[in-house]
């Protein structure tokens, strides 16, 4: 089975991940996705406790955490690949084994 995440799905995943990390509500997390040709995909995260950055691995971990916590998927059975398209923006393809 394949699951496709758009930018909003990825932002939601990072919000849940950051909320768990900083012990705040996901609604209080601000996320800005970024794509750079040289550096790839990243995110800037702002919570009450401060600002920090997510690299591609952090974003992949956040998607796995989100799918585990909200949809009962097993993270070790997920193959997550991030992508960027000028029309669609930042996306994720998740293969479930």
Q: Given pLDDT bands bounded at 50, 70 and 90, which one contains residue 49? A: confident
pLDDT exceeds cutoff 90 at 18: yes
Query: Which of 96, 97, 85 is closest to 6 using CA atoms?
Result: 85
Instruction: Please give the model's pTM, rounded to 2 decimal places.
Output: 0.93
Q: For 16-40, what is the mean pLDDT?
A: 94
Q: Are 91 and 9 in contact (CB under 8 A)?
A: no
Coil, strand or helix at 50: strand
The whole domain housing 66 covers: 2-96
pLDDT one-digit tens code per residue, 82-93: 999 999 999 999
Phi, psi of 71 (to 5 degrees): -135, 10
pLDDT one-digit tens code per residue, 63-80: 999 999 999 999 999 999
Q: Which helix (H) or strand (E) holds 84?
A: strand 78-85
Mean pLDDT in the chain? 96
How many structural domains comprise the chain? 1
Q: How far is CA 90 from CA 22, 44, 47, 62, 82, in A?
A: 24, 14, 22, 15, 7
pLDDT exceeds cutoff 90 at 58: yes
């Amino acid at each position: 089975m394949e699951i496709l995440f758009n930018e909003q799905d990825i932002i939601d995943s990072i919000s849940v991940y950051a909320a768990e990390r900083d012990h705040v509500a996901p609604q209080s997390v601000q996320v800005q996705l970024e794509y750079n040709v040289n550096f790839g995909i990243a995110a800037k995260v702002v919570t009450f406790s401060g600002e920090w950055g997510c690299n591609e691995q952090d974003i992949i971990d956040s998607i796995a955490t989100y799918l585990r916590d909200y949809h009962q998927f097993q993270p070790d059975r997920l193959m997550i690949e991030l992508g960027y398209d000028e029309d669609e923006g930042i996306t994720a393809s998740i293969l479930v084994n």
